[in-house]
Amino acid sequence: MQTKNFSLLFYISCLICLFSITIVVPTIFGSDAQTIFEGQELSEYEGQPLSSINDFVENSISGPQNIDLDNYFLSISGLVENELNYTYDEVLNKFESHKKVIKMTCIEGWSVTILWEGFLVEEILEDAQVQPEATNVIFFAEDGYFSSLTLDYILRHDIMIAYKMNNVTIPPERGFPFQLVAEGEMGDKWTKWITEIRLSNEEYDGWWDSVGAPSNADFSSGEIPEFASLMLLPLFLVISVASLTLRKFLGKKV
């Protein structure tokens, strides 16, 4: 019976360890996988060095999203006169393209400098005719993530939504088809895989706030949001089960 119990504990420990290595660790620390792009990624633009798209750390809440363009629409909703739905091609063909080198800094402590190409949020909002009482713009993503900026901030800073980075189409890992380029804001505002832009007259907390972490928190100093702390539980279980297993094994030997 002791041998069977030992084997069971051993296999449970192995399964938890495998889960931790394949799921938890990549989620917390990101993936080193290199993305292969169609076309030539630029390494500099007008004399300014650019980071590689592969320099990003994968830290999305549900992993990269693969959006089927045949069923995709970018929706404009909320406090607008005209609620609209655009296909991917309609967006690319309708709105003027803009390019700008912008640095994105993540609250985890890393940053990248990228050439972004896309359209101004202001231009797509003009189509929808924003109602006078609208003050905030919320950007929703395919994976359930969301962030918001004030309408005033968007207009004053010419905030854009990108469909290319470093001269190549944004890959699924980085937010295809559209990523918000929240210039001047930390990376938690840079929503990827955008599916909806909603206008509101109320303050709207972002996803980070919804899990109990302030959106301007500096996690590079060691502060970890609650959801990430809970993800360390399997690692704790591995150590606990391994310790109990070893004690039983050594006790049996003695």
Distance, in Å, from the CA atom of 147 to the CA atom of 175, rounded to the nearest integer, reads: 14
Q: Map tokens 């990248």 to a residue.
A: 112
pLDDT tens, residue order, the chain (254 aa): 555 554 555 455 544 544 444 444 444 444 444 555 556 999 999 999 999 999 999 989 899 999 999 999 999 999 999 999 999 999 999 999 999 999 999 988 999 999 999 999 999 999 999 999 999 999 999 999 999 999 999 999 999 999 999 999 999 999 999 999 999 999 999 999 999 999 999 987 777 666 655 544 444 444 444 444 434 444 445 555 555 555 555 555 54
Q: Is 234 helix (H, G, I), strand (E, B) or coil?
A: helix
Please check whether residue 162 is in contact with residue 170, taking contact to mean a CB–CB distance below 8 angstroms. yes
The confidence score (pLDDT) of residue 229 equals: 40
Exposed e or buried b for every residue in 132-156, given b needs 16+ CB within 10 A?
Answer: eebbbbbbbbbbebbbbbebebbee
Cβ-Cβ contacts under 8 Å for 151 (sequence gap 6 or more): 130, 134, 135, 136, 137, 199
φ/ψ (deg, to 5) at 129: 60, 85
Tokens of 98: 């803009």
- Burial class of residue 247 in the structure, from the number of CB atoms within 10 Å of its CB (0-12 exposed, 13-18 middle, 19+ buried): exposed
In this prediction, residue 226 carries a pLDDT of: 42
Single-letter code of the amino acid located at 187:
G
Residue 62 carries which DSSP code? S
Read out DSSP for 177-190? T-EEE-TTS-GGG-
Q: Dig out the tokens for 169 from the structure.
A: 């189409």
Q: Do strands 84-86 and 74-78 pair parallel, antiparallel, or not at all (unpaired)?
A: antiparallel
Residue where the block lists tokens 């690319």: 92
Nearest 5°: CA angle at 97, between 82 and 63?
80
pLDDT of residue 62: 92
